[in-house]
Amino acid sequence: MNIRISIIGHPACRRYRKMRQRTLDAVESVNTECALEEINDTARLSAYNPLSLPLLLINGVPVASQNPPRTEEIAKWLQQKAP
């Protein structure tokens, strides 16, 4: 897998669901191999500031927090990270 994507937040959160869907759409549009990890269990979420969730990481680097970015922005970030 070339790109690691992590989405951190709770699945019941509207913003989390929107961020997840937009990320999946962006991955599909750029046609790049990506490994998607969803961190949403309470024990692991407690390590993060709840005010910064949901959180989107690409290769371990935070790229979006709280408000889901547009699909086009995520696709652009993925293209920049692709080898």
What confidence tens digit (pLDDT) does each residue in 19-56 have?
Answer: 999 999 999 999 888 999 999 998 898 888 888 899 99
pTM metric for this prediction? 0.90
Confidence band of 83 (pLDDT split at 50, 70, 90):
low
Q: What is the pLDDT of residue 31?
A: 85
Q: What is the pLDDT of residue 80?
A: 86
Q: What is the pLDDT of residue 77?
A: 92
Q: What is the pLDDT of residue 56?
A: 96
- Picking from 62, 65, 83, 70, the residue whose alpha carbon sits closest to that of residue 29 is 70
Chain-centre distance for alpha carbon 47: 17
